[in-house]
Structure 1
Amino acid sequence: MAVSFLPCLILIVSLFSAIDAHSGMIGVNYGRIANNLPSPEKVVNLLKSQGINRIKIFDTDKNVLTALANSRIKVIVALPNELLSSAASHQSFADNWIKTHIMSYFPATEIEAIAVGNEVFVDPKNTPYLVSAMKNIHTSLVKYNLDKAIKISSPIALSALANSYPPSSGSFKPDLIEPVIKPMLALLQQTSSFLMVNAYPFFAYAANADKISLDYALFKQNAGNIDSGTGLKYNSLFDAQIDAVYAALSAVGFKGVKVMVTETGWPSVGDENEIGASESTAAAYNGGLVKRVLTGKGTPLRPKEPLNVYLFALFNENQKPGPTSERNYGMFYPNEGKVYDVPFSRVRSTPVNGNRDHVPVTHEGHTWCVSNGEVAKEKLQEALDYACGEGGADCRPIQPGATCYHPESLEAHASYAFNSYYQKNSRRVGTCYFGGAAHVVTQPPRYGKCEFPTGH
């Protein structure tokens, strides 16, 4: 079966858009409230080595933004809460902030969004300034022709909800709705942006461990919960929390605004009263969440909306105040060693030749990308065409007469092309998905005598 290429560039581009739209996205929060962290340059190398290509920071630190230049890592930056009143009161302040903290680095540093404040409603004195600050920052982006490339939003905590259980009863606190929630959502809708949400199932579990199953909180197999309002079944507390936000959006007339989870995580250490905090539970939560996101599936209430999530956090931060858990959300120690392992891709342990009786040999650290034989041939062919065309995969070995032309099958040819694309893109998160037509394996693919390269 010879490889066919889509003849029209428009079709290729639209296929890429469809693939991207149907994939969930994983990023990581890079907090720096610590005195022992590696340099930003080392952090960028760490991110690349882990295939992490999206991060969120809590300011516009010069050293961090400079280190990210030309790294192809996309970043969300923040205007801190203490600057909200100035940004709200003076358009000139917003203009100067954009020129100094955004334009000085963009586009070499791929800033894709600005978080205006963070969990602003937690401190009522900042709440009145939020919407005006967001509007002035957006006006500045428009003034400097950056509004199409850079979105604005503001992360809200789940404490902004008056009700969250069952998910269908989700609603915002009444005192926030008219003065701030509705005008903020109107701005997000107008600018085609998304609502940033910080969601922590750990807090709900720790406070209600006698009522909430730990397996339900950790994405493990469980009996699930039925929403009495919709009849929908929930198998994870995370999904239930996000759907409570969607229900709250619908209740105030903004059903069309999308949600991005800008913080979620689980601590590896906690105080005695912080039930559930441990390395094993942190690994289970974050690992389960990554697998959940990379399925491309949405929540029960929004099944067609892929989840976009930023894990909290990259490092343990030794200077954060509060309970022990606050200093132990990191996936990495400051020396760059892993606190626990989170695979940033979906991994299958069985050999790809289908021999399930064979006990595979572990190839530590090596991963490959192969086709999913369960998808329709048309979808597999479209993904193959994209990989070999616009995707830039090296498909010469699967041309007639070349080394990997045999076996002459769509599945074998697609696997070779997908793996070439995956390795070329440094095995980054989401580069082995192709709208569900591919997945990651930890054993070398076996198709005849063809050898599949690895980036290691």
Structure 2
Amino acid sequence: MAILIFAFLFLLSFSSPSEGGGSVAVNYGRIANDLPQPAQVVELLKAQGINKVKLFDADSTVLTALANSGVSVVVALPNELLSSAAATDGSFSEKWVQTNIAQYHPSTQIEAIAVGNEVFVDPNNTTQFLVPAMNNVYKSLVKHNLSSIKISSPVALSALNSSYPPSAGVFKPELIETVMKPMLEFLRKTSSYLMVNAYPFFAYSANSDVISLDYALFRAVNANVTDPGNGLSYSSLFEAQLDAVYAAMSNIQYNDVPVVVTETGWPSKGDENEIGASTDNAAAYNGNLIKRVLTGGGTPLRPNEPLNVYLFALFNENQKTGPTSERNYGLFYPNKEKVYNIPLTMEALKATGSTPINGSKVQVTSPPTASEEVTTAAVGQTWCVANGEAGAEKLQAGLDYACGEGGADCRPIQEGSTCYNPNTLEAHASYAFNSYYQKNTRGAGTCNFGGAAHVVTQTPKFGNCEFPTGY
């Protein structure tokens, strides 16, 4: 289970990124029968300050609507066309580029082409066609003097054989020589980037017993997971996942190729077994991610490289198959109303009054409703509490360590003392964990206890017991 605890860079923005900050874009999926017409969608994008999008095809109606709009686009050549695009004579790729790219650019600002999507998990076994197709499409772009348009292919995190700890990230052995090295070599030679799809939601939902929700939602303000391989500390699962990709690339000597997160998001609704799928959590993840990206800085492994991401997705899509979550990743309903209210631009972020300064992150935990105000803990004010789903054995072991060798002040939870009630293992462990965490100045790795604890940014409440914030 531990492997999943840890289980982009020049791209697109809702608005111009801040100095030193990254940028945020959005995926425009259309597997639905109730979406507004493309021309209306373009007006929505402009009204929201969204100036770049990614498609999953090269639909002519959409590309026409985007012409002269100021909204640039990444188009896609779908998996089912890879074998034809890989043909040695290059005739299919030439026709595809002429029909779907040259005909529209530059009136429609096409920035990149995604050749295939998560090809390695395609049940039709199209991996062998990927790099030949990319080469053929590139040759056609050159022929039409369009080589400034980048070519890449989105890769799922399942391409990694290991992601824990991030420093030990490696690609699956069967992919390295056959496709990863040839593709990364192509990206290097064409000055392109690797597209990666990263979803902390999947890791959390499948492993909520060992992954902190705060860690998955960018709410662990102080780093609380340490990579034993290099000593780097992580306060978000997203950054850990991305660093695992960087490590895998470095492991095969391609650490100079940039990375773009072409999909990431969190569903606002899910099935009963899809733990964590909710409107509040979706707002927290996307809101905190946008803040994290726009206010600068990279990952612990690449701190000087700004993060750039594509949110998934623009709309809820009612005809997608699979679990309920698949139809509920949208920022907007088909009627163009927001699913939840989060700042989408730096200007909107500044208007909330919670923009981080110099890397100190005041977290957006969920959007305000019309009848409530959001209160946010002061920068750096965090507590350590027990993970009630870790199980009694882990909680007891952590409690014993904190009150014993750890030197926590556990007197208030002794029988008859101020914090004895409620007399539950979770409440007592939370007090002891927090005492240890605060005594150790909230240092990296001091709120873990083998997965039995996690950092929170809201004051813990167990009965009338007051949790200290420092010693």
TM-score by length of 1: 0.72
Pick from 74, 77, 83 the counterpart of residue 76 of structure 1.
74
Task: Give 1:129-278 correspondences, 5 Å limit.
Answer: 129-148=129-148, 150-222=149-221, 224-278=224-278
- Tell me by how many angstroms 1:133 deviates: 0.2
Secondary structure at 1:347 match in 2: helix
Does residue 304 in structure 1 map to residue 307 in structure 2? no
Could you tell me whether the CA contact under 8 Å between 1:268 and 1:325 is conserved in 2?
A: yes
Structure 1, 116-125 or 151-160: larger mean CA deviation: 116-125
Distance in 2 of aligned mates of 1:21 and 1:77: 28
Using a 3 Å threshold, how does the CA distance of structure 1 residues 21 and 171 change in structure 2: closer, same or farther? farther
- Tell me by how many angstroms 1:22 deviates: 3.1
Deviations along 1:35-77, one digit per CA (max 9) or x if unpaired, are 0000001100111111111100000001100000001111000
Task: Give 1:288-367 correspondences, 5 Å limit.
Answer: 288-344=288-344, 345=346, 346-349=349-352
Distance in 1 of aligned mates of 2:136 and 2:36: 35
Secondary structure at 1:290 match in 2: helix
Using a 3 Å threshold, how does the CA distance of structure 1 residues 280 and 349 change in structure 2: closer, same or farther? closer
Task: Give 1:31-50 correspondences, 5 Å limit.
Answer: 31-50=29-48
Distance in 2 of aligned mates of 1:217 and 1:118: 24
Distance in 2 of aligned mates of 1:290 and 1:25: 8
Distance in 1 of aligned mates of 2:183 and 2:207: 32
Deviations along 1:385-437, one digit per CA (max 9) or x if unpaired, are xxxxxxxxxxxxxxxxxxxxxxxxxxxxxxxxxxxxxxxxxxxxxxxxxxxxx
Count residues with an aligned counterpart. 336
Could you tell me whether the CA contact under 8 Å between 1:21 and 1:306 is conserved in 2?
A: no
Structure 1, 32-41 or 337-346: larger mean CA deviation: 337-346
Aligned residue for 1:27?
25
Distance in 1 of aligned mates of 2:75 and 2:354: 42
CA RMSD of aligned residues (A): 1.9
Task: Give 1:42-121 correspondences, 5 Å limit.
Answer: 42-89=40-87, 90-121=89-120
Amino acid of the structure 1 residue aligned with 2:57: D
Could you tell me whether the CA contact under 8 Å between 1:115 and 1:154 is conserved in 2?
A: yes
Amino acid of the structure 1 residue aligned with 2:119: V
Structure 2 gaps, min length 5: 1-15, 356-367, 371-471
Secondary structure at 2:86 match in 1: helix
Could you tell me whether the CA contact under 8 Å between 1:195 and 1:257 is conserved in 2?
A: yes
Amino acid of the structure 2 residue aligned with 1:265: G
Deviations along 1:133-154, one digit per CA (max 9) or x if unpaired, are 0000011111111002x00000
Secondary structure at 2:263 match in 1: strand
Secondary structure at 1:78 match in 2: strand
Could you tell me whether the CA contact under 8 Å between 2:170 and 2:251 is conserved in 1?
A: yes
Task: Give 1:384-423 correspondences, 5 Å limit.
Answer: none
Secondary structure at 1:263 match in 2: strand
Amino acid of the structure 2 residue aligned with 1:330: G
Could you tell me whether the CA contact under 8 Å between 2:18 and 2:296 is conserved in 1?
A: no
- Tell me by how many angstroms 1:21 deviates: 8.0
- Tell me by how many angstroms 1:261 deviates: 0.3
Could you tell me whether the CA contact under 8 Å between 2:195 and 2:260 is conserved in 1?
A: yes
Aligned residue for 1:435?
none
Using a 3 Å threshold, how does the CA distance of structure 1 residues 47 and 348 change in structure 2: closer, same or farther? closer
Amino acid of the structure 2 residue aligned with 1:153: S
Amino acid of the structure 1 residue aligned with 2:318: N
Structure 1 gaps, min length 5: 1-17, 353-361, 365-456
Deviations along 1:104-163, one digit per CA (max 9) or x if unpaired, are 110010000000000000026100000000000011111111002x00000000000000
Deviations along 1:181-212, one digit per CA (max 9) or x if unpaired, are 00000000000100000000000000110000
- Tell me by how many angstroms 1:348 deviates: 5.0
Distance in 1 of aligned mates of 2:99 and 2:353: 52
Distance in 2 of aligned mates of 1:101 and 1:80: 12
Using a 3 Å threshold, how does the CA distance of structure 1 residues 174 and 327 change in structure 2: closer, same or farther? same
Distance in 2 of aligned mates of 1:40 and 1:162: 40
Secondary structure at 2:138 match in 1: helix
TM-score by length of 2: 0.69
Deviations along 1:306-341, one digit per CA (max 9) or x if unpaired, are 111000000000000000000000010000011001
Structure 1, 337-346 or 321-330: larger mean CA deviation: 337-346
Using a 3 Å threshold, how does the CA distance of structure 1 residues 181 and 350 change in structure 2: closer, same or farther? closer
Using a 3 Å threshold, how does the CA distance of structure 1 residues 145 and 236 change in structure 2: closer, same or farther? same
Structure 1, 118-127 or 215-224: larger mean CA deviation: 215-224
Distance in 2 of aligned mates of 1:229 and 1:128: 34
Distance in 2 of aligned mates of 1:293 and 1:203: 21
- Tell me by how many angstroms 1:221 deviates: 3.0
Could you tell me whether the CA contact under 8 Å between 2:221 and 2:235 is conserved in 1?
A: yes
Could you tell me whether the CA contact under 8 Å between 2:17 and 2:294 is conserved in 1?
A: no
- Tell me by how many angstroms 1:23 deviates: 2.9
Amino acid of the structure 1 residue aligned with 2:207: N
- Tell me by how many angstroms 1:25 deviates: 1.1
Could you tell me whether the CA contact under 8 Å between 2:220 and 2:236 is conserved in 1?
A: no
Could you tell me whether the CA contact under 8 Å between 1:202 and 1:276 is conserved in 2?
A: yes
Distance in 2 of aligned mates of 1:254 and 1:292: 26
Amino acid of the structure 2 residue aligned with 1:209: S
- Tell me by how many angstroms 1:88 deviates: 0.2
Amino acid of the structure 2 residue aligned with 1:86: S
Could you tell me whether the CA contact under 8 Å between 2:243 and 2:300 is conserved in 1?
A: yes
Distance in 2 of aligned mates of 1:174 and 1:351: 44
